[in-house]
Amino acid sequence: MVKSILGRKVGMTQIFDEQGRVVPVTVVEAGPCIVTQKKTVTSDGYDAVQVGYEQAKERTPKGKNRAALNKPERGHLAKNNLAPLRHLREVRMEGTADLNVGDEIKVDVFTEGDFVDVTGTSKGKGFAGVVKRYHWHGGDMTHGSMIHRKPQSAGATDAARVFKNVGRPGRMGNERVTVKRLRVVRVDLERNVLLIRGAVPGANGGLITIREAK
């Protein structure tokens, strides 16, 4: 069984458990996903399946921002008589004998109490200084300090270069982030919804990957 699914983050809310305690949860609209390709040790050197999510149009109408599928993507899916799907991801697993191209993966692959790893793209914060980016203390705020929020020394001067991993101002966020071992609180098969305890990466509406925790 593929214990992995793609979905979109809807937002955060809270529910009450059986003891009446408040539980903060993230609502995720997950699946259904379609198996679009099988990989085996014989043909590819490893076992995996490729899954697709979210139906797309083959061609984008004029004036629309969302890009249509390109020719290779359309041909890859049409080869197996599959509808155009916007997002394709590969999931490694042990043995693919029970899966066939065209099979559906729904939220019921998970049950309440399962632990999952959630991967998404974090919110972009733009160009940020070291105090915001790395939570550095900064200099004194007193009169005459002249430092305040500056990054100060970049290290040794005789090397004539800046060493790797030296904190500098730069782009913050908008990177792949995985939050591990979050608990599935509720599974709603009718509405294709998962409630996951805690926060997951990214903005509302962002694409996320949910897989069984390692």
Residue 67, pLDDT score: 58
Longest CA span, the chain: 72
Per DSSP, what are the bridge partners of residue 210? Answer: 5, 118
Do residues 34 and 6 touch, judged by C-beta distance below 8 A?
no
Residue 64, pLDDT score: 56
Q: Which domains does the chain have, with CATH numbers?
A: 4-127+176-212 (2.40.30.10), 128-172 (no CATH)
Q: Which residue has the higher pLDDT, 62 or 101?
A: 101
The conformation of residue 46, written as its DSSP 8-state character, comes to S
Confidence of residue 58 (pLDDT cuts 50, 70, 90): low
104 half-sphere exposure, CB direction, 13 A CA radius:
10
Residue 12: CB atoms within 10 A of its CB come to: 14
Collapsing DSSP states into helix, strand and coil, what is residue 134? helix
Cα–Cα distance between 213 and 197 in angstroms, integer?
14
Confidence of residue 184 (pLDDT cuts 50, 70, 90): very high
- Chain segment 66-122, per-residue pLDDT in tens: 556 778 888 888 888 888 888 888 888 776 677 788 888 889 889 998 999 999 999
Do residues 117 and 178 touch, judged by C-beta distance below 8 A?
yes
- Chain segment 197-212, per-residue pLDDT in tens: 999 999 999 999 999 9
